[in-house]
Amino acid sequence: MNIQLDSQGRLKHFLGIEGLSRELLVEILDTAASLMPVNEKAVKKLPLLRGKTIVNLFFEPSTRTRTTFELAAKRLSADVLNFNINASSSSKGETLLDMLNNLEAMQCDMFVVRHDQAGAPFFMAQHVPPHISIVNAGDGRHEHPTQAMLDMFTIRQHKGDFSQLRVAIIGDILHSRVARSQIFALTTLGAAEVRVIAPFTLIPKGIENMGVTVFNRLKAGLKDVDVVMMLRIQRERMRSALLPSEHEYFQYYGLTEDLLMEVHPDAIVMHPGPINRGVEIESSVADGARSVILQQVTNGIAVRMAIMAMVLGRGHEGQSCHSS
Amino acid sequence: MTYLEALFASMTRQLTQLIPPHEQENVFMVGIHTGGVWVAEQLHRRLQLPLPLGRLNIAFYRDDFTRIGLHPHVTDASYLPVEIENRHIILVDDVLYSGRTVRAAHNELFDYGRPASIKLAVLIERPGRELPIQADVVGVSLALTANQHIKLTGPDPLSLDILTFD
């Protein structure tokens, strides 16, 4: 049984893409699409989560992701608490379970969790009472499912059908929770081909079992792809033995205007941000006509709204009524 | 003339009396998804209103969201092609029963701006209001039993059925 789903197959938590059905992913994308017009209204709010309290529990710093979660929750009329864990009781020795129990006692409804340990949101989902939902905002090297869903939303916006798409994911595949979630999402949605492109040191063993094709040379991997998904290179990897230097990485794996000659003429370029200009992507490509990077940021709000609404709005099981 | 056509003709006459000729330029008709949009399309065409027809999907404004969730899937988003600020809105639905759909529609409309006025036109009204809401224009009033439901199917052709459940 998937801990993310209730007995009727609806989202109870959103912890990872792995194990979710194509229908459920499409439902998230459809719901997000219908939430997009909220941005055009005079009052950019919906009453769906009025009276609900959502806690952003970020054990790792991330201004961008936390802000989009906060904005999404506020656009659904929820009350939002932001916990800076470094300055909180966890640094005073409180356990995760103690912290959860205390937050539960404050009558919260949802925890949005980012943690450097893979599986932390799963652990929380196993220990919270049934009325509380957990949304994974990135856990260790495991998954970053809301980022993957906003990427899928952006791809569908530009390409429509997934079944004809060749998608390349480029960069630190080994450490990237974004890449894992993207691969799960793309294969579930039926993308024709998913390629991963990286140096040998940044490709996890056995990744072919996830249904992807591995390339070590960027130019060959980019041939005829419809979507180019860049990953952020973390500078600390440069100091380890995994990568030589920023300059050398860019020379072999940086996305340049010249390399875009290899991709399909209508291909789009994506990046989850924040961008390291001149390390994984040339500035003119990041700002160029094919770039949909800022659209990804905009779409992130609607997608996170959709996931929060679906998770908290699943209703009591077995009830159904309609009035006019 | 079919029964439905007769109802639309009656509603058109009532609306014509309701809208002063000098206000017609400022009248914005909005149908509530889905049956209300079908009814609104009929009325909009008959009245030859100059502003395009809007549609409202109140699924995100339902007061029973926390009980029934997003139901059904919301794929046809609201579409309001003109500003509603200071417009005279004619809100159209197929059936007025509890009044909760109309309340939700009011809430959504006010999130787009402040209309000058809102009039409500419904094809069918039935007793059972749970809120203080009434229609300005009614096609027909029907008193149905608790196990009877009205079903409007469409948009082309439009048909109206009364279903009885055991």
Q: With 60 as the cut, is the pLDDT of residue B36 above it?
A: yes
In contact, A37 and B77? CB cutoff 8 Å: yes
Point out which residues pair with A193 in neighbouring strands: A166
Q: Which of A324, A268, A319 lies closest to A10, judged by CA?
A: A319
Q: With 80 as the cut, is the pLDDT of residue B96 above it?
A: yes
Chain B residues close to A319, C-beta within 8 Å: 67-68
> How far apart are alpha carbons A219 and A228 in whole angstroms?
12
Min Cα distance B104 → chain A (Å) is 10
DSSP assignments along A242-275, one per residue: T---HHHHHHHH-B-TTGGGSS-TT-EEE--S--
Q: With 80 as the cut, is the pLDDT of residue A91 above it?
A: no
- The pair of three-digit structure tokens given for residue A226, joined into one six-digit string: 């419809």
Summarize the confidence of residues B86-104 as an average pLDDT.
96
Point out which residues pair with A47 in neighbouring strands: none
Q: Which of A7, A25, A2 lies closest to A126, judged by CA?
A: A2
Q: With 50 as the cut, is the pLDDT of residue B47 above it?
A: yes
Active site residue A166: no
Sequence length of chain A is 324
3-class SS at B30?
A: strand
Chain A residues close to B112, C-beta within 8 Å: 41-43
Q: Which of A276, A13, A9, A292 lies closest to A137, judged by CA?
A: A13
Active site residue A64: yes
Mark yes or no for CB contact B101/A324 under 8 Å: yes
Summarize the confidence of residues B87-99 as an average pLDDT.
96
Mark yes or no for CB contact B95/A43 under 8 Å: no
DSSP assignments along A109-176, one per residue: -EEEEEESSTTHHHHHHHHS-TT-EEEEEEETTTB-HHHHHHHHHHHHHHH--STT-EEEEES-TTT-
**ipTM surpassing 0.90:** no
- Catalytically annotated residue among A12, A142, A144, A304: A144
Q: With 60 as the cut, is the pLDDT of residue A99 above it?
A: yes
Q: Which of B22, B25, B46 lies closest to B121, judged by CA?
A: B46
Cβ-based neighbour number of residue A298 at 10 Å? 15
**Residue that the structure tokens 């699409």 belong to:** A33
> How far apart are alpha carbons A210 and A180 in whole angstroms?
9
Min Cα distance B2 → chain A (Å) is 25
Q: Is-cis flag, bond preceding B81, omega within 30?
A: no
Correct CATH for B3-16+26-62+77-164 of 3.30.420.40, 3.40.50.2020, 1.10.10.10, 1.10.20.10:
3.40.50.2020
Q: Which of A1, A137, A131, A125 lies closest to A69, judged by CA?
A: A137
Kindly list the structural domains of chain A, giving each domain's residue range(s) and its CATH number in brackets, ordered by start.
Answer: 22-143+298-313 (3.40.50.1370), 145-292 (3.40.50.1370)
Mark yes or no for CB contact A30/B75 under 8 Å: yes
What type of residue is B163? L
Q: Where are the beta strands (DSSP E) in B7-132?
A: 27-32, 54-56, 88-96, 117-125
Active site residue A92: yes
Active site residue A141: no
Q: What is the pLDDT of residue A92?
A: 66
Min Cα distance B35 → chain A (Å) is 11
Higher-confidence residue: A169 or A279?
A: A169
Q: What is the pLDDT of residue B65?
A: 72
- The pair of three-digit structure tokens given for residue A102, joined into one six-digit string: 């205390």
In contact, A145 and A24? CB cutoff 8 Å: no
pLDDT tens for A261-297 read: 999 999 999 999 899 999 999 999 999 999 999 999 9
> How far apart are alpha carbons A142 and B112 in whole angstroms?
41
- Catalytically annotated residue among A41, A45, A64, A235: A64
In contact, A111 and A135? CB cutoff 8 Å: yes
pLDDT tens for A11-70 read: 999 999 999 999 999 999 999 998 998 887 888 999 999 999 999 999 988 888 999 999
- Catalytically annotated residue among A114, A156, A175, A271: A114
Mark yes or no for CB contact B110/A324 under 8 Å: no
Summarize the confidence of residues A193-207 as an average pLDDT.
95
Confidence of residue B51 (pLDDT cuts 50, 70, 90): very high
Looking at every residue in chain A, the average pLDDT score rounds to: 91
- For chain B, domain boundaries: 3-16+26-62+77-164
pLDDT tens for B105-124 read: 999 999 999 999 999 999 99
Mark yes or no for CB contact A315/B68 under 8 Å: yes
A121 marked as part of a ligand binding site: no
Max mean pLDDT range (A4-8, B10-14, B78-82) = B10-14
Provide residues of A within 8 Å CB-CB of chain B: 10, 27, 30-31, 33-37, 41-43, 45-48, 309-310, 312-316, 319-324
**Given CB atoms, is B111 within the 8 Å cutoff of chain A?**
yes
Where does residue A47 rank: exposed (0-12), middle (13-18), buried (19+ CB within 10 A)?
middle
For residue B105, the chain A residue with the least C-alpha distance is A324
**Given CB atoms, is B110 within the 8 Å cutoff of chain A?**
yes
> For an interface test with B, which of A46, A320, A324 has the most B Cβ atoms less than 10 Å from its Cβ?
A324
For residue A50, the chain B residue with the least C-alpha distance is B66
Summarize the confidence of residues A106-135 as an average pLDDT.
94
Min Cα distance A78 → chain B (Å) is 13
Q: What is the pLDDT of residue B72?
A: 47
Structural Rg of chain B based on CA atoms: 15
In contact, A25 and A15? CB cutoff 8 Å: no
